[in-house]
Amino acid sequence: MSFLIPDAFAATGSGTAAATGSGSGLTSILFLVVFFAIFYFLILRPQQKRQKDQRNMISNLAKGDEVVTTGGIVGKIVELDESFLELEIAQGIKVKVQRFAIASCLPKGTLKV
C-alpha cells in the first residue's frame, strides 16, 4: 500500500516543514497589514481631511462671502439659510443654489459685483 502515497508527502519528522508553513502565513499577514496601512495613509486619511475641511467651509459661509460653485459660477452671497443660499453673479442677477454646491471661497475683493 505504500505505493499509493507519493514520497513528497511523506513526513520527515524533523519539523522543518511545519516551521516554514507558519512562517509564510506570518509573512502574508504582515504583508496585508502593511498594505492596509499604506492604503490608509495615502488614500483614506487625506480624503477624510478634505471632506472635513469642505464641511467646515460650508458651515462657516456668511453673507458677503465670494464663492465658486461646483459648476464654475462665481458670485457673492447675498442671502443664506440652512440648505440654500442666494448668489449675486452680476449686478441685479441672483441665483439660488444649494449649500453643498459651493466648491471654494475666494479672497475678499476678488469679484467686482
Residues 6+ apart with CB under 8 A from 70: 101, 102, 103
Full-model pTM: 0.64
C-alpha 92: how far from chain center: 38
Is residue 77 situated within a structural domain?
Answer: yes
77 shares its domain with 47: no
The domain of 27 spans 13-57
Rounded CA separation 6/8 (Å): 5
Is residue 8 situated within a structural domain?
Answer: no
pLDDT digits (tens, 9 = 90+) for 11-48: 555 555 444 556 788 899 999 999 999 999 999 999 99
pLDDT digits (tens, 9 = 90+) for 40-79: 999 999 999 999 999 999 999 999 999 999 999 999 999 9
Which residues lie across from 101 on neighbouring strands? none
Q: Which residue has the cell 460653485?
A: 69
Rounded CA separation 11/99 (Å): 70
